[in-house]
Amino acid sequence: MAINYDHLMNYPIPDGVQDMNFRDAIIYALGIGLSQDQLDKRQLRYTYEDDQKVFPSMAVVLAGPGFWVKNDDTGVDWVKVLHGEQGMEIHKPIPVNGKLTGKSTMTEIIDKGAGKGALMYSERVVYDESGDKVCTLTSTTFGRGDGGFGGPEKPAPKPHALPDRAPDGFVDLSTRPEAALIYRLSGDYNPLHADPDVATAAGFKAPILHGLCSFGIACHALVKALCDYDGDRLKKMGLRFTSPVYPGETLRTEYWQDGNDISFRTTVLERDVVVLNNGYATID
């Protein structure tokens, strides 16, 4: 079964509902490595319930619709999909407690041609109990097995270009060996991140870290370096996933600052591999 453009563009993606509470926020923050320095009270505000705040990159796991592309009527070859890009815009601080609702829509599907795959663009807006927007999330999914379905073949948007100069600074953050096992408690239970046999069958030497966990670690680096751990100052962030990370590796996030606009990329030091690229962020 192939993708039907009009059907998938108008697909009734289920709403996501989440009863947010302080435990969810703490588990997420620990999953991306906050409070490895237990004496740093700036980080403790995200991992301890006394005057607690929610780390901004938690937006990407809020009120999701689940893995709906796996449904038979989508036409998507779900076994071959990859998460290509992720973006977020924060409209107001994420509440520590309360009901959140996520409403998702498809925004475009680009047919790269037979044997070349398809790009599926989606957006999720998360609302709080008052009906206010909390955040808007954008995602690009690469369907490796879905090209040639007869959809639009227009060029994909160009990624954010990094400045042609030396970085203004960098932050190194280590990941714990059990990081993926903690992060999966935030909602992504794909066995690829936990079961060595599944990881080997997929071509990896060991379970890999969730891409959105690497996203959160890069956010941690920016909030540490540029916001003195005041996560409310981060308003927007996006990037392209370029390579997997293994738990236990060290991530170096290099950044360029032009006023409130930030560019960044993230590299695994042990392998000298860029894992997150074309990153951008806005701070106030």
Catalytic status, residue 208: yes
DSSP, residue by residue, 201-215: HTT-SSPPPPHHHHH
CA distance 148 to 135: 34
Note whether 50 and 57 are within 8 A (CB): no
What angle (nearest 5°) sits at the alpha carbon of residue 175, between those of residues 49 and 44?
A: 20
Point out the catalytic residue in the list 160, 193, 210, 220.
Answer: 193
CA distance 58 to 56: 5
**Which amino acid is present at 113?**
G
| Cβ neighbour number for residue 279 with a 10 Å cutoff | 25
Catalytic status, residue 284: no
Which residue matches tokens 């936990």? 194
118-153 burial by CB neighbour count: b if 16+ within 10 A, else e? Answer: bbbbbebbbbbeeeeebbbbebbbbbeebbbbebee
Catalytic status, residue 211: yes
CA distance 4 to 12: 14
Catalytic status, residue 160: no
CA distance 140 to 22: 30
Point out the catalytic residue in the list 3, 208, 262, 283.
Answer: 208
- What are the distances in angstroms from CA 68 to CA 14, 74, 142, 258? 8, 8, 15, 39
| Cβ neighbour number for residue 80 with a 10 Å cutoff | 12
Which residue matches tokens 């935030």? 186
Point out the catalytic residue in the list 188, 230, 232, 248.
Answer: 188
Which residues are annotated as catalytic? 188, 193, 208, 211
